[in-house]
C-alpha cells in the first residue's frame, strides 16, 4: 500500500467572502496554508500538492436536490430572488448570499471528491482538503455556514464503488447533515464527537440517536458537556472509537477535523487545546486506513492554522519545530495575535468540574458501547 499523501488546495478560495462580520473567514485557509508551507511540510518527499478541480454540477446532485442546486446557482450573481432563497436557508446571517457562492461550493466539493478518488484508487494513503468538511448542509437547504455537503457527496461516491466507509467527525458541532445522508444504510458508520446539542447548534446528535431502518445502530453520537478538555475528550475517543472502527471493518475512513473545540474558540464551549486535537489525529493515523481528511469549523484564525498544520504533520509522520516560523509571526502580529508556539501549554481544569464532566462522558461511552457496538459487531460477524 502506498504511503504517499496529497494536499488539495487552490488560492481561488481567497476571492470569496462571507462578509466582514461573518465568523467563517477565508483568511483562516490562507493562514493555515502559509504556516504549513513555512514549515516545509509541502516539500516532503512523500507529499503531493495538487490544485483543486471544481466538481461537476451533476456530482452535487448525488446528495442535494436539483431545485435547491438551481436556486444556489442563481445566487452566483446579483440577480437572485431573495424570497426564493430564504426558503432554502440562503441569505440568512449564517448562510449569506455572496458573489460566486456557487463557484465556491463547486471548489470545496471538488477538492473532497479529488481526495476520495485519490484514496480509493490507492494513489495515496491520505488526502487532505482543509476547505471541506461542510457537514451541516442538507439535501434542500443551506445550514450552519454550509451550502453543499462535500463530505456527503464524497462518501456517496465511495459507497457507489462498493466501499464501506467510516465517517468520524471531531467538530464541536454535530455532523447532522452527514448523519442524515446515511442514517438508513449499513454501508456507512457515522461517529460524531461534539458539544451536547442542548447547548450548541444544530441541537442534534443525542446519544440515543443511532440511525434508522437498515442503518439502525450505524450512527454513534458522543455528545460532550461544555467545558470538556483534552483528557476527557481523549478518554471518550479512546474508549469507544477504535472499537467501533474495528467492529465495522471499513474499507476507507473519512474524517471531519473541525477545530472549533478549542477553549479559545469564540463560538463554542469546549476546552481542548492543540495537544488533545493532535493526539486525536495521530490516533486516527494509527488506524492505518485509507484516509480522506476534511477540514471543518474553527473560528480563531491562529488556532486553525496551528491545528491543521499539526494534522498535516501527523498525516506525514513528522514533528514540526515548536517555535512558529518568523514569517508567520510577522503575518499574524498586525491582527493582534500573540502566539509564538505551535502547540499550546497544557490547561488545568478544576478537579470538581473535571469529575462531573468525566462522569457524564463515561455514561455516553457506556451507552454507545451498549447500543451501537453490539449491532455493528453482530451484523459484521453474520456477513
Max CA separation in the chain (angstroms): 60
pLDDT of residue 42: 98
- 304 in Cβ contact with 265 (< 8 Å): no
pLDDT of residue 77: 83
Task: Give the whole-angstrom CA distance, residue 17 versus residue 146.
Answer: 13
**Of 246, 126, 148, nearest in space to 189 by CA:** 246
pLDDT of residue 383: 63
Out of 136, 173, 196, 300, the active site residue is: 136
Between CA 144 and CA 153, with CA 150 as vertex, the angle to 5 degrees is: 125
- 272 in Cβ contact with 263 (< 8 Å): yes
- Residue 300 annotated among the catalytic residues of the structure: no
Q: Grid cell 462571507 — which residue?
A: 18
pLDDT of residue 75: 95
SS (H, E, C) the chain: CCCCEEEEECHHHHHCCCCCCCCCCCHHHHHHHHHHHHCCCCCCCCEEEEECCCCCHHHHCCCCCHHHHHHHHHCCCCCCCHHHHHCCCCCCCCCCCCCCHHHHHHHHHHHHHHHHHHHHCCCCCEEEECCCCCCCCECCECECCECCCHHHHHHHHHHHCCCCEEEEECCCCCCHHHHHHHCCCCCEEEEEEEECCCCCCCCCCCCCCCCCHHHCCCEEEEEECCCCEHHHHHHHHHHHHHHHHHHHCCCEEEEECCCCCECCCCCCCCEECHHHHHHHHHHHHHCCCCEEEECCCCCCHHHHHHHHHHHHHHHCCCCCCCECCHHHHHHHHHHCCCCCECCCCCCCCCHHHHHHHHHHHHHHHHHHHHHCHHHHHHHHHHC
pLDDT tens, per residue, the chain with 383 residues: 457 999 999 999 999 999 999 999 999 999 999 999 999 999 999 999 999 999 999 999 999 999 999 999 999 987 789 999 999 999 989 999 999 999 999 999 999 999 999 999 999 999 999 999 999 999 999 999 999 999 999 999 999 999 999 999 999 999 999 999 999 999 999 999 999 999 999 999 999 999 999 999 999 999 999 999 999 999 999 999 999 999 999 999 999 999 999 999 999 999 999 999 999 999 999 999 999 999 999 999 999 999 999 999 999 999 999 999 999 999 999 999 999 999 999 887 776 678 899 999 999 999 999 999 999 998 877 76
pLDDT of residue 292: 99
pTM for the complete prediction? Answer: 0.97
CATH class of 5-382: alpha beta
Amino acid at each position: 500500500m502506498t504511503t504517499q499523501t496529497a494536499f488539495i488546495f487552490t488560492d481561488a478560495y481567497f476571492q470569496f467572502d462571507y462578509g466582514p462580520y461573518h465568523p467563517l473567514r477565508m483568511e483562516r485557509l490562507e493562514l493555515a496554508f502559509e504556516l504549513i508551507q513555512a514549515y516545509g511540510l509541502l516539500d516532503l518527499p512523500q507529499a503531493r500538492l495538487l490544485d483543486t478541480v471544481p466538481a461537476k454540477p451533476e456530482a452535487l446532485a448525488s446528495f442535494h436536490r436539483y431545485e435547491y442546486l438551481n436556486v444556489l446557482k442563481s445566487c452566483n450573481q446579483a440577480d437572485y430572488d431573495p424570497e426564493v432563497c430564504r426558503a432554502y436557508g440562503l441569505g440568512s446571517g449564517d448562510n449569506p448570499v455572496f458573489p460566486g457562492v456557487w463557484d465556491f461550493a463547486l471548489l470545496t466539493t471538488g477538492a473532497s471528491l479529488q481526495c476520495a478518488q485519490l484514496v480509493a484508487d490507492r494513489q495515496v494513503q491520505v488526502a487532505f482538503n482543509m476547505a471541506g468538511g461542510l457537514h451541516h448542509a442538507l439535501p434542500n437547504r443551506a445550514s450552519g455556514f454550509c451550502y453543499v455537503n462535500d463530505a456527503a457527496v464524497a462518501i456517496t461516491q465511495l459507497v457507489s464503488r462498493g466501499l464501506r466507509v467510516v465517517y468520524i467527525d471531531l467538530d464541536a458541532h454535530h455532523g447532522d447533515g452527514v448523519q442524515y445522508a446515511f442514517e438508513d444504510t449499513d454501508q456507512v458508520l457515522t461517529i460524531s464527537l461534539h458539544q451536547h446539542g442542548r447547548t450548541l447548534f444544530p441541537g442534534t446528535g443525542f446519544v440515543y440517536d443511532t440511525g434508522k431502518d437498515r442503518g439502525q445502530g450505524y450512527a454513534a453520537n458522543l455528545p460532550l458537556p461544555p467545558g470538556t478538555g483534552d483528557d476527557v475528550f481523549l478518554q471518550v475517543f479512546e474508549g469507544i472509537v477504535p472499537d467501533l472502527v474495528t467492529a465495522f471493518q471499513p474499507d476507507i475512513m473519512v474524517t471531519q477535523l473541525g477545530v472549533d473545540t478549542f477553549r479559545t474558540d469564540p463560538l463554542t464551549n469546549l476546552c481542548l487545546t492543540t495537544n488533545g486535537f493532535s493526539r486525536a489525529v495521530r490516533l486516527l493515523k494509527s488506524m492505518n486506513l485509507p484516509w480522506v481528511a476534511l477540514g471543518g469549523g474553527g473560528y480563531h484564525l491562529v488556532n486553525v492554522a496551528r491545528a491543521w498544520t499539526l494534522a498535516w504533520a501527523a498525516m506525514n509522520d513528522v514533528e514540526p519545530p515548536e517555535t512558529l516560523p518568523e514569517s508567520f509571526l510577522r503575518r499574524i502580529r498586525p491582527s493582534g495575535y500573540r502566539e509564538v508556539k505551535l502547540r499550546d501549554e497544557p490547561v488545568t481544569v478544576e478537579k470538581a468540574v473535571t469529575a462531573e464532566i468525566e462522569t457524564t462522558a463515561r455514561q455516553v461511552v457506556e451507552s454507545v458501547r451498549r447500543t451501537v457496538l453490539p449491532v455493528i459487531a453482530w451484523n459484521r460477524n453474520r456477513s
